[in-house]
Chains A and B, each alone.
Chain A
Amino acid sequence: MPSSFEVTIRPHRGWQPIDVREIWLYRELLVFLIWRDIKIRYRQTVLGALWAVLQPLIAMVIFTFIFNRLAGVKSDGPPYPLFALAGLAPWTFFSTAVSQSSNSLVSNQQLVSKIYFPRVFIPLGSVGALLLDLGLSLVLLALLMFHYRWPVSLNLLWLPVFIVAAVLAASGVGLTLSAFNVSFRDVKYAVPFLIQMGIFVTPVIYPIRYIPGSWRILMGLNPMTGVVLGFRYAILGSPSPWPVMALSLAMSVVLFISGLLIFRRMERRFADII
């Protein structure tokens, strides 16, 4: 760091720009925080990282039995278990990321009130650490596709785009909720409920064609709609209603940026009220 380093601390009010330079300076810390979350998540558990795979796997089995066998829900082409898991993998990532990141500031009170670094790293670190779990459930999906002899196409090249969209959506919601959670612990009770409801307004269990045509575009307001459709398009070659997906992707970006701005605005009071 140059010796001419100079910084002035003064009161901040209202909306603040995002300090990209500072985030870049501290980038190593984000890596450390992600690494810490990964290290401690499954410590002192018998099954360890297997939990990352078990959750979507068990959900897939139950969903297949209840929705496919009992209720007669059909997939949009591939066998229903593949269809369900391709939706559950990003959905589990999103729901776990949102619930953990929204709690992250409160559970790291010490870091908020005793030291300074870009605090966006705390919720972002929680989201980042879950990418490992997402990777593991994608491995599970690959094994299952092999079992069903389901082919992969060049669509797979699109997958990174939808993974990024999932990260942006989860981070955007996580940043906003974590900031509100500092002042209003109501968030702690609202989040599990919202996540439970979320799976019904996201086409995880059912294909999007079950939604009447004129309502489909409204589904695009949910950023996870695009992610789930995108995962199925990229991995399983399912049909892709691009207008809905494009709107969804745009929503991810909007949520992420607004999450960052809301977080920045509320950040200055964190240490005083947490």
Chain B
Amino acid sequence: MPPIIDVNHLSKEYELGRSINRENLREFLMRKFKHPSRRESTARNSKKPRTFCALDDVSFEVAQGDVVGILGRNGAGKSTLLKIISKVTDPTKGSVTLRGRLGSLLEVGTGFHPELTGRENVYLNGAILGMSKAEIDACFDEIVAFSEIGKFLDIPVKRYSSGMYLRLAFAVAAHLNTEILIADEVLAVGDVAFQRKCLRKMSEVARQGRTVLFVSHNVAAVGDLCSRGIVLDAGRLAFDGTAKQAIQLYIGMMFNTQGTPSHVIDLRGALDRRSPQGKLLQGIELYTNHDEPLIQGIPLGARLKIRVHFNLPSSTSVFNVGLGFNNTVGQRVFTAHTAFEPDRDHAAAVGDQVMACEIPNLTLLPGDYVLRVWLDVGNTEADLIDSAARITVVESDFYGSGKLPTDGMFVLQHRWSLAS
């Protein structure tokens, strides 16, 4: 059977000089209607327009039923790839063959109009996504039930809370019944509960044997949903294989760009950030035994100390810092949080702050862990960075027997004896 998506030597170039800084009508006419002889001479004199290659000779195939995660840093060409596949923009070279109806979600709620009611927007958005009126009628009740909008269905969506708006928008998109579904960062919106619900729906879609292309910075979601992973780097295909390997490569790329390794990590320019109350997290410092800077790997069972620098714009006593350790398939293996601290000082604070977290024995099994850092102010999320640091745990003789398990996630002190 031929592949359902066949991407063939796909390239996309943007002309920097002309397309991005829009020329005005006079410049356009000058360029088009210049006397031929003069046009030639200017062409010879002027430099060729500078181009930016967003995608560079990318080829891959996707078989029916594959769920493919596309990873890459910002500007790697992920969105451009999805835009070409969904026909929003033309490629410069190469081709894509699709053997099935395609539904594309480059954004949740495309075409939603604030003045229209929830009901009206379901129909409008459905039609824009490519559903027929009959199809929308058929799953209208399901969409409404999924969105949990209930009695607000007939008021204009401009009066909705942002959560309600997103729930309704995602509900329509989730009922798009095409053979191929492509989604870009759809899950990067809404609260945690809503994200979880979206994720469940996505995995349901994946199990139905439909073909999904899924772009996200959320490696946990990719690890969870996808069987296959593609990594793009600077417009080129850097990896095509299992999702697990793709995630590992992507995490490696995320941290190899920050110059020489250091135990001090500046978070002010961090990617994958959600900052509803501003970029308050400033940086982290990592230390191991006897406050030695942690630069390379940390031995299994060693002490880990993490100092988190952040800023409180106004005086408050209600703020919390959390640290999450995720493994390379995106599972959370350990969460540390100031709320768990019984002897916490609850005095009000303002300005630059440092919270230090000490883990006497980091007993996670050897491997890479991605550290998520977040700050809550007034019991709501203020700033969150998905991949703040990578912590590599290396082998040590934790048990004193020279042996470590290959399965599981962590080690615990335990004893064995012959009981008889």
Contacts and interface: CB of A to CB of B under 8 A. Distances in A.
Interface of A: 1, 3-12, 26, 28-29, 32, 36, 39-40, 43-44, 110-117, 183-186, 268-269, 271-273
Interface stretch (B101-109, B280-288, B320-328): B101-109
Contacts of A10: 91, 94-96
A116 B229 CA distance: 25
Given A110-B111, A115-B111, 9 more contacts: A6-B97, A6-B98, A9-B84, A10-B94, A39-B120, A40-B116, A115-B129, A116-B87, A271-B88
27 contacts: A3-B100, A5-B100, A6-B99, A8-B96, A9-B87, A9-B90, A9-B97, A10-B95, A29-B127, A32-B127, A39-B120, A40-B116, A110-B107, A112-B88, A114-B88, A114-B106, A114-B107, A114-B110, A115-B86, A115-B106, A115-B107, A115-B129, A183-B22, A183-B23, A184-B24, A185-B22, A271-B89
* B interface residue count range (under 10 / 10 to 19 / 20 to 34 / 35 or more): 35 or more
B190 interface: no
B83 interface: yes
Interface in B60-115: 83-101, 104, 106-107, 110-111, 113, 115
B255 interface: no
Do most interface residues of chain B lie in helix, strand or loop, or is the interface mixed?
A: loop
A8 B95 contact: yes
Contacts of A183: 22-23, 28
Contacts of A32: 123-124, 127-128
For the complex of A and B, 4 pairs with smallest distance between CB atoms? A116-B87, A10-B95, A32-B127, A271-B89
Contacts of B88: 112-116, 271
B19 interface: yes
A40 B111 CA distance: 13
A273 B91 contact: no
Interface in B128-168: 128-130, 132-133
B43 interface: no
B53 to A, nearest CB: 14
A36 B113 CA distance: 9
Contact of B22 (A8, A44, A273): A273
Nearest to B100: A5
B412 interface: no
B25 interface: yes
Nearest to B102: A7
Contacts of A110: 107, 110-111
A3 B179 CA distance: 9
A116 B104 contact: yes
A12 B90 contact: yes
Contacts of A185: 22
Interface in B1-43: 14, 19, 22-25, 28
Given A9-B87, A115-B128, A183-B22, A43 B115 contact: yes
Given A3-B100, A6-B99, A8-B96, A40 B113 contact: yes
A9 B98 contact: yes
Contacts of B123: 32
A112 B87 CA distance: 11
B91 A9 contact: yes
B311 to A, nearest CB: 34
A26 B120 CA distance: 18
A4 to B, nearest CB: 8
A116 B128 CA distance: 8
A28 B115 contact: no
A26 B127 CA distance: 9
Contact of B124 (A36, A113, A269): A36
A3 B28 CA distance: 45
Contacts of A11: 90-94
